Amino acid sequence: MRRRPMVRMARGVTRLFDPPAGARIGPLKEGFFKSRLHDERLSAQLGIALGVTFTICFVTGLLSHLIQYPPAWFTWPPRPAGLYRLSQGVHVATGIASIPLLLAKLWVVYPHFWTWPPVRNVLHLIERISLLPLVGGSIFLLFSGLANIGLWYPWRFFFPAGHYSGAWITIGALIVHIGAKATLTRRVLARDRGRSEAPGDGLSRRGFLGVVGGTAGLLTLLTVGQTFRPLNRLAILAPRRPDVGPQGFPVNKSAASAKITDDHVGPSYRLLVTGAVTTALALSLDDLRALPQHEATLPIACVEGWSAEASWRGVRVAELLQRAGAAPDADVTVESLQASGLYKASALNALQARDPDTLLALEINGETLHIDHGYPVRLIGPNRPGVMQTKWVEKLVVS
Ligand SMILES: Nc1nc2c(c(=O)[nH]1)N[C@H]1C(S)=C(S)[C@@H](COP(=O)(O)O)O[C@H]1N2
Ligand SMILES: [Mo]
Protein backbone atom coordinates (compact mmCIF):
# COMPACT_ATOMS: atom_id res chain seq x y z
CA MET A 1 0.00 0.00 0.00
CA ARG A 2 1.27 3.46 -0.85
CA ARG A 3 1.62 5.72 2.15
CA ARG A 4 0.05 9.11 1.92
CA PRO A 5 2.63 11.93 1.89
CA MET A 6 1.15 13.69 4.98
CA VAL A 7 1.59 10.57 7.10
CA ARG A 8 5.10 10.11 5.83
CA MET A 9 5.87 13.69 6.66
CA ALA A 10 4.63 13.32 10.25
CA ARG A 11 6.71 10.18 10.73
CA GLY A 12 9.66 12.11 9.40
CA VAL A 13 9.03 14.84 11.96
CA THR A 14 8.94 12.23 14.72
CA ARG A 15 12.23 10.72 13.60
CA LEU A 16 13.80 14.13 13.42
CA PHE A 17 12.88 14.83 17.05
CA ASP A 18 13.68 11.43 18.46
CA PRO A 19 16.98 11.71 20.35
CA PRO A 20 18.97 8.74 21.62
CA ALA A 21 17.59 7.45 24.93
CA GLY A 22 20.49 8.94 26.88
CA ALA A 23 19.64 12.42 25.68
CA ARG A 24 16.21 12.34 27.34
CA ILE A 25 16.96 14.27 30.45
CA GLY A 26 14.97 16.26 33.04
CA PRO A 27 11.25 16.47 32.30
CA LEU A 28 11.74 14.41 29.13
CA LYS A 29 12.57 11.39 31.27
CA GLU A 30 9.82 8.88 31.97
CA GLY A 31 8.44 9.27 35.52
CA PHE A 32 9.81 12.78 36.03
CA PHE A 33 6.44 14.18 37.16
CA LYS A 34 5.58 12.42 40.39
CA SER A 35 2.35 13.95 41.68
CA ARG A 36 -0.61 11.61 41.39
CA LEU A 37 -2.69 14.63 40.42
CA HIS A 38 -1.25 14.71 36.90
CA ASP A 39 -4.00 12.32 36.11
CA GLU A 40 -6.18 11.53 33.12
CA ARG A 41 -9.39 11.28 35.07
CA LEU A 42 -8.87 14.61 36.81
CA SER A 43 -7.98 16.17 33.48
CA ALA A 44 -11.18 14.79 31.93
CA GLN A 45 -13.35 16.05 34.79
CA LEU A 46 -11.83 19.53 34.73
CA GLY A 47 -12.11 19.51 30.94
CA ILE A 48 -15.83 18.82 31.12
CA ALA A 49 -16.36 21.54 33.71
CA LEU A 50 -14.45 24.01 31.53
CA GLY A 51 -16.36 22.88 28.44
CA VAL A 52 -19.58 23.78 30.24
CA THR A 53 -18.47 27.16 31.63
CA PHE A 54 -16.79 28.20 28.36
CA THR A 55 -19.84 27.28 26.30
CA ILE A 56 -22.21 29.25 28.55
CA CYS A 57 -19.78 32.16 28.59
CA PHE A 58 -19.48 32.08 24.79
CA VAL A 59 -23.22 31.97 24.13
CA THR A 60 -24.03 34.77 26.58
CA GLY A 61 -21.11 36.83 25.26
CA LEU A 62 -22.22 36.34 21.67
CA LEU A 63 -25.72 37.42 22.66
CA SER A 64 -24.41 40.58 24.29
CA HIS A 65 -22.41 41.34 21.14
CA LEU A 66 -25.41 40.81 18.86
CA ILE A 67 -27.53 43.12 21.00
CA GLN A 68 -24.96 45.90 20.79
CA TYR A 69 -24.02 45.42 17.13
CA PRO A 70 -27.17 43.89 15.62
CA PRO A 71 -26.87 42.43 12.12
CA ALA A 72 -29.91 42.76 9.85
CA TRP A 73 -31.31 39.36 10.85
CA PHE A 74 -31.21 40.04 14.57
CA THR A 75 -33.83 41.98 16.55
CA TRP A 76 -33.48 42.09 20.32
CA PRO A 77 -36.91 42.47 21.93
CA PRO A 78 -37.60 44.71 24.93
CA ARG A 79 -39.15 41.79 26.86
CA PRO A 80 -38.61 40.00 29.18
CA ALA A 81 -37.33 43.14 30.84
CA GLY A 82 -34.65 41.46 32.97
CA LEU A 83 -33.28 38.95 30.45
CA TYR A 84 -30.11 40.85 29.57
CA ARG A 85 -29.36 41.39 33.24
CA LEU A 86 -29.58 37.63 33.79
CA SER A 87 -27.59 36.63 30.74
CA GLN A 88 -24.79 39.12 31.37
CA GLY A 89 -24.68 38.21 35.06
CA VAL A 90 -24.25 34.58 33.99
CA HIS A 91 -21.55 35.59 31.47
CA VAL A 92 -19.43 37.28 34.10
CA ALA A 93 -20.08 34.61 36.74
CA THR A 94 -19.10 31.70 34.46
CA GLY A 95 -16.03 33.64 33.31
CA ILE A 96 -14.89 34.17 36.88
CA ALA A 97 -15.59 30.55 37.83
CA SER A 98 -13.51 29.44 34.83
CA ILE A 99 -10.35 31.05 36.21
CA PRO A 100 -9.57 28.49 38.95
CA LEU A 101 -10.81 25.69 36.69
CA LEU A 102 -8.40 26.69 33.92
CA LEU A 103 -5.43 27.11 36.26
CA ALA A 104 -6.12 23.67 37.75
CA LYS A 105 -6.50 22.07 34.33
CA LEU A 106 -3.25 23.57 33.06
CA TRP A 107 -1.42 22.34 36.13
CA VAL A 108 -2.83 18.84 35.83
CA VAL A 109 -1.87 18.48 32.15
CA TYR A 110 1.34 20.47 31.82
CA PRO A 111 3.61 17.38 31.96
CA HIS A 112 2.11 16.50 28.56
CA PHE A 113 4.11 19.33 27.06
CA TRP A 114 7.13 17.07 27.54
CA THR A 115 5.65 13.80 26.31
CA TRP A 116 7.74 11.91 23.81
CA PRO A 117 7.57 11.82 20.83
CA PRO A 118 6.12 15.34 20.58
CA VAL A 119 4.26 14.48 17.39
CA ARG A 120 2.88 11.03 16.61
CA ASN A 121 0.91 11.62 13.41
CA VAL A 122 -0.88 14.31 11.47
CA LEU A 123 -3.99 14.31 13.66
CA HIS A 124 -1.86 14.49 16.76
CA LEU A 125 0.08 17.35 15.18
CA ILE A 126 -3.15 19.27 14.53
CA GLU A 127 -4.34 18.58 18.05
CA ARG A 128 -1.04 19.84 19.46
CA ILE A 129 -1.06 22.99 17.34
CA SER A 130 -4.65 23.75 18.37
CA LEU A 131 -3.45 23.97 21.98
CA LEU A 132 -1.74 27.25 21.18
CA PRO A 133 -4.94 29.20 20.38
CA LEU A 134 -6.83 27.20 23.01
CA VAL A 135 -4.53 27.90 25.94
CA GLY A 136 -3.46 31.34 24.73
CA GLY A 137 -7.02 32.35 23.88
CA SER A 138 -8.44 31.10 27.18
CA ILE A 139 -5.87 32.96 29.23
CA PHE A 140 -6.39 36.09 27.14
CA LEU A 141 -10.19 35.98 27.50
CA LEU A 142 -10.23 35.39 31.24
CA PHE A 143 -7.52 37.97 31.89
CA SER A 144 -9.00 40.68 29.66
CA GLY A 145 -12.52 40.03 30.98
CA LEU A 146 -11.36 40.26 34.57
CA ALA A 147 -9.41 43.44 33.88
CA ASN A 148 -12.43 44.98 32.16
CA ILE A 149 -14.60 44.24 35.19
CA GLY A 150 -12.02 46.11 37.24
CA LEU A 151 -11.93 48.95 34.68
CA TRP A 152 -8.22 48.28 34.19
CA TYR A 153 -7.00 48.49 30.62
CA PRO A 154 -3.31 47.62 30.47
CA TRP A 155 -3.45 47.32 26.64
CA ARG A 156 -4.02 49.40 23.55
CA PHE A 157 -6.74 47.51 21.72
CA PHE A 158 -10.47 48.19 22.06
CA PHE A 159 -11.66 45.72 24.68
CA PRO A 160 -14.99 44.53 23.15
CA ALA A 161 -13.40 43.90 19.73
CA GLY A 162 -10.37 42.11 21.17
CA HIS A 163 -12.40 40.04 23.62
CA TYR A 164 -14.88 39.13 20.89
CA SER A 165 -12.26 38.02 18.33
CA GLY A 166 -10.46 36.12 21.07
CA ALA A 167 -13.71 34.29 21.85
CA TRP A 168 -14.09 33.00 18.27
CA ILE A 169 -10.48 31.84 18.12
CA THR A 170 -10.78 30.08 21.46
CA ILE A 171 -14.11 28.44 20.75
CA GLY A 172 -12.79 27.18 17.39
CA ALA A 173 -9.78 25.67 19.11
CA LEU A 174 -12.04 24.25 21.83
CA ILE A 175 -14.17 22.46 19.25
CA VAL A 176 -11.03 20.90 17.73
CA HIS A 177 -9.85 19.94 21.21
CA ILE A 178 -13.17 18.36 22.19
CA GLY A 179 -13.23 16.48 18.90
CA ALA A 180 -9.75 15.16 19.58
CA LYS A 181 -10.37 14.25 23.21
CA ALA A 182 -14.01 13.12 23.37
CA THR A 183 -13.27 9.41 22.96
CA LEU A 184 -10.41 9.44 25.44
CA THR A 185 -12.49 11.38 27.97
CA ARG A 186 -15.36 8.94 27.71
CA ARG A 187 -13.04 5.98 28.01
CA VAL A 188 -11.16 7.37 31.02
CA LEU A 189 -14.32 8.27 32.89
CA ALA A 190 -15.95 4.90 32.19
CA ARG A 191 -12.79 2.97 33.10
CA ASP A 192 -12.26 4.63 36.45
CA ARG A 193 -15.87 4.79 37.50
CA GLY A 194 -16.27 3.59 41.07
CA ARG A 195 -12.62 2.58 41.30
CA SER A 196 -11.08 3.75 44.55
CA GLU A 197 -8.05 5.98 44.42
CA ALA A 198 -4.60 4.44 44.82
CA PRO A 199 -2.98 5.49 48.09
CA GLY A 200 -0.19 8.02 47.76
CA ASP A 201 1.35 11.17 49.12
CA GLY A 202 -0.15 14.62 49.01
CA LEU A 203 -3.60 15.80 48.11
CA SER A 204 -6.00 13.19 46.76
CA ARG A 205 -7.82 13.71 43.48
CA ARG A 206 -11.06 14.20 45.29
CA GLY A 207 -9.45 16.71 47.65
CA PHE A 208 -7.98 18.61 44.70
CA LEU A 209 -11.33 18.73 42.89
CA GLY A 210 -12.90 19.94 46.13
CA VAL A 211 -10.40 22.79 46.45
CA VAL A 212 -10.80 23.83 42.80
CA GLY A 213 -14.61 23.60 42.86
CA GLY A 214 -14.70 25.38 46.22
CA THR A 215 -12.53 28.21 44.90
CA ALA A 216 -14.73 28.61 41.83
CA GLY A 217 -17.84 28.62 44.02
CA LEU A 218 -16.37 31.09 46.50
CA LEU A 219 -15.26 33.52 43.77
CA THR A 220 -18.76 33.38 42.30
CA LEU A 221 -20.34 33.95 45.71
CA LEU A 222 -18.10 36.96 46.40
CA THR A 223 -18.89 38.70 43.12
CA VAL A 224 -22.37 37.69 42.03
CA GLY A 225 -23.88 39.98 44.70
CA GLN A 226 -23.08 42.85 42.32
CA THR A 227 -26.10 41.80 40.34
CA PHE A 228 -27.95 39.31 42.57
CA ARG A 229 -29.44 41.38 45.38
CA PRO A 230 -29.77 38.76 48.16
CA LEU A 231 -25.97 38.23 48.06
CA ASN A 232 -25.20 41.94 47.91
CA ARG A 233 -23.43 42.00 51.28
CA LEU A 234 -21.03 39.25 50.15
CA ALA A 235 -19.90 41.06 46.99
CA ILE A 236 -16.54 42.07 48.48
CA LEU A 237 -14.66 41.24 45.27
CA ALA A 238 -16.98 43.26 43.04
CA PRO A 239 -15.60 46.67 42.06
CA ARG A 240 -19.15 48.10 41.77
CA ARG A 241 -21.72 47.84 44.51
CA PRO A 242 -25.32 48.21 43.34
CA ASP A 243 -26.06 50.66 46.15
CA VAL A 244 -22.95 52.88 46.20
CA GLY A 245 -23.01 56.15 44.25
CA PRO A 246 -24.99 59.38 44.02
CA GLN A 247 -28.66 58.75 44.88
CA GLY A 248 -27.65 55.28 46.09
CA PHE A 249 -26.89 54.18 42.55
CA PRO A 250 -23.54 53.32 40.92
CA VAL A 251 -21.96 55.42 38.18
CA ASN A 252 -19.65 54.21 35.43
CA LYS A 253 -19.13 57.41 33.48
CA SER A 254 -19.32 60.61 35.48
CA ALA A 255 -20.47 63.90 33.95
CA ALA A 256 -16.99 65.34 34.49
CA SER A 257 -15.28 62.51 32.63
CA ALA A 258 -17.82 62.83 29.79
CA LYS A 259 -17.05 66.60 29.73
CA ILE A 260 -20.66 67.53 30.40
CA THR A 261 -20.70 71.05 31.83
CA ASP A 262 -23.31 73.33 33.38
CA ASP A 263 -23.60 75.13 30.02
CA HIS A 264 -24.83 71.94 28.39
CA VAL A 265 -27.55 71.38 30.94
CA GLY A 266 -28.57 74.99 31.67
CA PRO A 267 -31.82 76.81 30.72
CA SER A 268 -30.90 76.70 27.03
CA TYR A 269 -31.16 72.90 27.04
CA ARG A 270 -33.57 71.50 24.43
CA LEU A 271 -34.43 67.92 23.63
CA LEU A 272 -34.64 67.56 19.85
CA VAL A 273 -36.72 64.99 18.01
CA THR A 274 -35.55 65.07 14.38
CA GLY A 275 -34.97 62.95 11.27
CA ALA A 276 -37.84 61.15 9.56
CA VAL A 277 -40.62 63.03 11.35
CA THR A 278 -43.48 65.24 10.19
CA THR A 279 -43.00 67.75 13.04
CA ALA A 280 -39.53 68.24 14.47
CA LEU A 281 -39.67 68.93 18.21
CA ALA A 282 -37.45 71.08 20.44
CA LEU A 283 -38.56 70.69 24.04
CA SER A 284 -37.26 72.50 27.12
CA LEU A 285 -37.05 70.71 30.45
CA ASP A 286 -40.30 72.38 31.49
CA ASP A 287 -41.96 71.21 28.25
CA LEU A 288 -40.87 67.68 29.06
CA ARG A 289 -42.17 67.93 32.62
CA ALA A 290 -45.52 69.11 31.28
CA LEU A 291 -45.96 65.98 29.16
CA PRO A 292 -47.63 62.86 30.58
CA GLN A 293 -45.18 61.17 32.96
CA HIS A 294 -44.79 57.45 33.23
CA GLU A 295 -43.03 55.38 35.90
CA ALA A 296 -41.13 52.11 35.46
CA THR A 297 -38.90 50.01 37.70
CA LEU A 298 -35.98 48.85 35.57
CA PRO A 299 -32.37 47.78 36.10
CA ILE A 300 -29.21 49.22 34.66
CA ALA A 301 -27.39 46.04 33.68
CA CYS A 302 -23.79 46.90 32.86
CA VAL A 303 -21.80 44.62 30.57
CA GLU A 304 -19.24 44.42 33.36
CA GLY A 305 -21.67 42.32 35.35
CA TRP A 306 -23.05 44.70 37.95
CA SER A 307 -26.67 45.70 37.85
CA ALA A 308 -28.93 47.88 39.95
CA GLU A 309 -32.62 48.53 39.87
CA ALA A 310 -34.39 51.85 40.32
CA SER A 311 -37.75 53.42 39.81
CA TRP A 312 -37.55 55.81 36.87
CA ARG A 313 -40.01 58.52 35.90
CA GLY A 314 -40.23 60.48 32.70
CA VAL A 315 -41.68 60.74 29.23
CA ARG A 316 -42.30 57.72 27.04
CA VAL A 317 -40.16 57.64 23.90
CA ALA A 318 -43.26 56.31 22.10
CA GLU A 319 -45.19 59.42 23.14
CA LEU A 320 -42.54 61.73 21.68
CA LEU A 321 -42.38 59.72 18.45
CA GLN A 322 -46.12 59.94 18.08
CA ARG A 323 -46.13 63.70 18.69
CA ALA A 324 -43.39 64.15 16.11
CA GLY A 325 -45.30 62.05 13.59
CA ALA A 326 -42.72 59.26 13.20
CA ALA A 327 -43.70 56.12 11.29
CA PRO A 328 -44.83 53.29 13.59
CA ASP A 329 -41.97 51.04 12.48
CA ALA A 330 -39.24 53.67 12.60
CA ASP A 331 -35.95 53.02 14.41
CA VAL A 332 -34.39 55.68 16.60
CA THR A 333 -30.86 56.77 17.42
CA VAL A 334 -30.48 58.35 20.85
CA GLU A 335 -27.71 60.94 20.93
CA SER A 336 -26.03 62.45 23.94
CA LEU A 337 -24.73 65.95 24.64
CA GLN A 338 -21.40 64.22 25.13
CA ALA A 339 -19.07 65.38 22.33
CA SER A 340 -16.91 62.29 22.07
CA GLY A 341 -16.75 58.81 23.48
CA LEU A 342 -17.94 55.42 22.36
CA TYR A 343 -21.19 55.45 24.28
CA LYS A 344 -22.47 58.90 23.37
CA ALA A 345 -25.24 57.36 21.24
CA SER A 346 -27.31 54.20 21.17
CA ALA A 347 -29.89 52.59 18.92
CA LEU A 348 -33.49 51.78 19.78
CA ASN A 349 -35.07 49.33 17.37
CA ALA A 350 -38.74 49.88 16.53
CA LEU A 351 -39.94 47.39 19.18
CA GLN A 352 -37.80 48.89 21.92
CA ALA A 353 -38.76 52.45 20.98
CA ARG A 354 -42.50 51.57 21.22
CA ASP A 355 -42.26 49.72 24.55
CA PRO A 356 -44.38 51.56 27.15
CA ASP A 357 -41.48 51.36 29.67
CA THR A 358 -38.84 52.86 27.36
CA LEU A 359 -38.48 56.32 28.85
CA LEU A 360 -36.55 59.50 28.68
CA ALA A 361 -36.23 59.65 32.45
CA LEU A 362 -36.17 62.88 34.39
CA GLU A 363 -36.25 61.28 37.86
CA ILE A 364 -34.72 58.36 39.72
CA ASN A 365 -36.48 57.04 42.84
CA GLY A 366 -38.55 60.23 43.12
CA GLU A 367 -35.62 62.67 42.82
CA THR A 368 -34.43 64.76 39.88
CA LEU A 369 -31.56 62.89 38.20
CA HIS A 370 -28.09 63.63 39.54
CA ILE A 371 -25.87 64.96 36.75
CA ASP A 372 -23.77 61.79 36.96
CA HIS A 373 -26.92 59.79 36.21
CA GLY A 374 -27.62 61.80 33.09
CA TYR A 375 -29.41 65.03 34.12
CA PRO A 376 -31.37 66.58 32.52
CA VAL A 377 -32.61 63.47 30.66
CA ARG A 378 -31.44 59.90 30.31
CA LEU A 379 -32.68 56.98 28.31
CA ILE A 380 -33.84 53.94 30.23
CA GLY A 381 -35.46 50.95 28.59
CA PRO A 382 -36.22 47.32 29.43
CA ASN A 383 -33.83 44.49 28.50
CA ARG A 384 -30.94 46.71 27.38
CA PRO A 385 -27.21 46.62 28.19
CA GLY A 386 -26.09 49.48 30.46
CA VAL A 387 -23.92 50.93 27.69
CA MET A 388 -27.09 51.53 25.68
CA GLN A 389 -28.87 53.44 28.45
CA THR A 390 -27.59 56.75 27.14
CA LYS A 391 -27.19 59.62 29.59
CA TRP A 392 -27.45 63.40 28.97
CA VAL A 393 -29.74 62.84 25.98
CA GLU A 394 -29.91 65.67 23.48
CA LYS A 395 -31.53 64.15 20.41
CA LEU A 396 -33.82 61.41 19.19
CA VAL A 397 -33.01 60.91 15.51
CA VAL A 398 -35.77 58.96 13.74
CA SER A 399 -34.88 56.82 10.71
N1 LIG B 1 -23.69 59.48 27.28
C2 LIG B 1 -23.30 58.37 27.90
N3 LIG B 1 -24.21 57.54 28.44
C4 LIG B 1 -23.83 56.42 29.10
C5 LIG B 1 -22.47 56.08 29.23
C6 LIG B 1 -21.52 56.95 28.63
O7 LIG B 1 -20.29 56.72 28.70
N8 LIG B 1 -21.97 58.08 27.99
N9 LIG B 1 -22.10 54.94 29.92
C10 LIG B 1 -23.11 53.87 29.99
C11 LIG B 1 -22.79 52.76 30.87
S12 LIG B 1 -21.45 51.83 30.45
C13 LIG B 1 -23.59 52.39 31.92
S14 LIG B 1 -23.35 50.94 32.75
C15 LIG B 1 -24.71 53.24 32.37
C16 LIG B 1 -24.51 53.56 33.83
O17 LIG B 1 -25.51 54.39 34.30
P18 LIG B 1 -25.38 55.08 35.71
O19 LIG B 1 -24.05 55.78 35.73
O20 LIG B 1 -26.53 55.96 35.90
O21 LIG B 1 -25.37 53.95 36.71
O22 LIG B 1 -24.76 54.46 31.64
C23 LIG B 1 -24.52 54.35 30.28
N24 LIG B 1 -24.79 55.62 29.64
MO1 LIG C 1 -21.65 49.83 31.53
- Say what the pLDDT of residue 11 is: 57
Cα-to-centroid distance, 293 and ligand 2 (Å):
26
Cβ(250) – ligand 1 distance below 6 Å: yes
Measured CA to CA in angstroms, residue 61 lies from 38, 91, 139 at distances of 32, 6, 16
Q: Which portions of the chain are predicted below pLDDT 70?
A: 1-23
Identify the nearest ligand to the CA of 310 by its number: 1
> Are 214 and 280 in the same domain?
no
> Are 208 and 67 in the same domain?
yes
Cβ(300) – ligand 1 distance below 6 Å: yes
Within a domain: residue 249?
Answer: no
Distance of alpha carbon 138 from the chain centroid:
13
pTM of the complete model: 0.92
CA dist 2 and 369 (Å) reads 78
> Are 226 and 297 in the same domain?
no
> Are 310 and 379 in the same domain?
yes
Domain count of the chain? Answer: 2
Cβ(159) – ligand 1 distance below 6 Å: no
Distance of alpha carbon 4 from the chain centroid:
45
- Say what the pLDDT of residue 93 is: 95
Contact yes or no for 227/306 (Cβ under 8 A): yes
> Are 87 and 123 in the same domain?
yes
Within a domain: residue 250?
Answer: no
> Are 168 and 75 in the same domain?
yes
Cβ atoms within 10 Å of 215's Cβ, excluding its own:
16
Cβ(391) – ligand 1 distance below 6 Å: yes
- Say what the pLDDT of residue 375 is: 97
Q: What is the pLDDT of residues 290-326, one digit of tens each?
A: 999 999 999 999 999 899 999 999 999 999 999 999 9
* Atom of ligand 1 minimally distant from the CA of 393: 1
Candidate of 68, 343, 388, 392 to mutate for ligand 1, largest count of ligand atoms within 8 Å of Cβ: 343
- Say what the pLDDT of residue 269 is: 97
CA dist 168 and 54 (Å) reads 11
Within a domain: residue 217?
Answer: yes
Cβ(10) – ligand 1 distance below 6 Å: no
Q: Give the CATH number, domain containing residue 386.
A: 3.90.420.10
Domain end residue (candidates: 180, 214, 234): 234
- DSSP string spanning 96-118? HHHHHHHHHHHHHHGGGGG-SSS
Q: What is the pLDDT of residues 71-112, one digit of tens each?
A: 999 999 999 999 999 999 999 999 999 999 999 999 999 998
Cβ(217) – ligand 1 distance below 6 Å: no
Give the sign of the dihedral formed by CA 145, CA 148, CA 152, CA 156.
positive
- Say what the pLDDT of residue 339 is: 95
> Are 217 and 278 in the same domain?
no
Q: Which residues form the domain of 325?
A: 262-398
> Are 164 and 306 in the same domain?
no
